[in-house]
Structure 1
Amino acid sequence: MFLHVVMMQLDNQVDGSFFEQVQAFVERVKSECDGLIMFHFGQNEADRAGGYQYVTSAIFVDAAAHDSYQISPAHTAMKAFMTPHIKDVVAYDGNVSDGLLITEVFTNSNVL
């Protein structure tokens, strides 16, 4: 599996309609991108977030599915809509063990 996490600092021009449109893009990504296991956009609730208030997280079956997502019309449209409002971004991309997410992260409190 392949994990993709993007943490964002957004400008103060975003409002409810911005987030409604982002959610519409989330649904579009879910319906159009093959090899997607999970896709989510939401508020970063960590008190150690360092100003990165929002996050997109995704799990793909493999790196190739992630690469296809990156150039998909759904992702490029979402990115074009959001980019003018992104002040800073930090991303993580990497392969993870198939069992890690289910058996270790959710059952082993030492992982978090």
Structure 2
Amino acid sequence: MPEKEILTSLGWLLVGLLAGSVHVAALWVNVQFLMTPSRRPVAIAMLLGRFLLLGGLLYLAARSGTASFLWATCGVLVARPLVLRIMKARIGPGVRIGEEGPLR
């Protein structure tokens, strides 16, 4: 029985990591769409979709139990800094994160 609980917890952690990674990685595309005036409606729909999918996943985890919800949430929280670090390395050193600039 403990093996089943460990595998279930690990599964929810991996689901949370995957969902958090997709959620944060899609943020880059979302920002690019927001900067283009003709694609702003698509960006708003994408933003709502990202939050609804992540919220739906966390809702399913919560319906599965408290431990499942906590493990999935931990996965989402761990994925954010990892994905941002990877994205910063891919974008290059010329882009400063946290600096404000004009939106066109």
Q: Specify if TM > 0.5.
A: no
Task: Decide which structure has greater strand share.
Answer: 1
TM-score normalised per structure 1: 0.28
Q: Determine which structure has more spread, i.e. the larger CA radius of gyration.
A: 2
TM-score, scaled relative to structure 2:
0.30
